[in-house]
Amino acid sequence: MAEKMSKALREKIKKLKFLGFDVDGVLTDGNVYYSSDGTETKQFNTKDGLGIELAIKAGFTVAIISGRSSTAVSRRAKELGIKIVKQGIKDKKAALASILKSKKIGFSEAAFMGDDLPDLKLRDSVSVFVCPSDAIHAVRERSDVVVSKKGGAGAVREWVDLVLSFTN
């Protein structure tokens, strides 16, 4: 994929220090399951998980910004070492701005991966916007990078591997 990208895009990816992720449809396939006691269950992908761990190890600041809220996400984030976890966020743009400000990360150093309309509001707040192959059409149309894998099925890993291939 790197070979097919414009030089300008490759230069933008090289500058990244922050990788933000939506949860449903990005770190998961977008399905939400409820058990009989009402507990919400989600399915995470271990390849995506290792990708996140590799990014953190490489020095990237990783954050989750989700419109929904679930203990499954808190647990998964903890497991992977993601320290910035914003859930139940109605205004993702404001949440991202506050994270970037507190971490002193500039626009040109930030990327976000999302799959649906609430994520598109972050489009102009980051240098590189990325989406899984099964993101909605409007998101795919406005993304700098559309990876070949689907949400919850390796999309995150593919993006992280791409980023790391530029920094290593």
Handedness of CA 43, 50, 17, 164 (dihedral sign): negative
Told to check if 25 binds Mg ion by CB under 5 A, we report: yes
- State yes or no: residue 48 binds Mg ion (CB under 5 A): no
Q: From the CB of 26, what's the least distance to Mg ion, in Å?
A: 6
Check binding of 158 to Mg ion (CB under 5 A).
Answer: no
**Taking contact as CB under 5 A, which single stretch among the options 24-32, 42-50, 79-87, 98-106 is the one that binds Mg ion?**
24-32
Q: Report the alpha-carbon distance of residue 115 to residue 133 in Å, rounded.
A: 9
Residues 6 or more apart in contact with residue 4 via CB below 8 angstroms = none
154: contact with Mg ion by CB under 5 A: no
Q: Which of 13, 21, 24, 70 binds Mg ion (CB under 5 A)?
A: 24
Residue nearest to Mg ion (CB): 25
Q: Is 88 left (phi over 0), alpha (psi -120 to 50) or beta?
A: left
CA distances from 149 to 9, 47, 72, 85, 89 (A): 20, 12, 23, 24, 26
22 binds Mg ion (CB under 5 A): yes
Burial of 147 (0-12, 13-18, 19+ CB in 10 A): buried
Looking at 48, 109, 115, 134, which residue binds Mg ion (CB under 5 A)? 115
The stretch among 52-60, 101-109, 115-123, 134-142 that binds Mg ion (CB under 5 A) is: 115-123
Binding site for Mg ion (CB under 5 A): 22, 24-25, 115-116
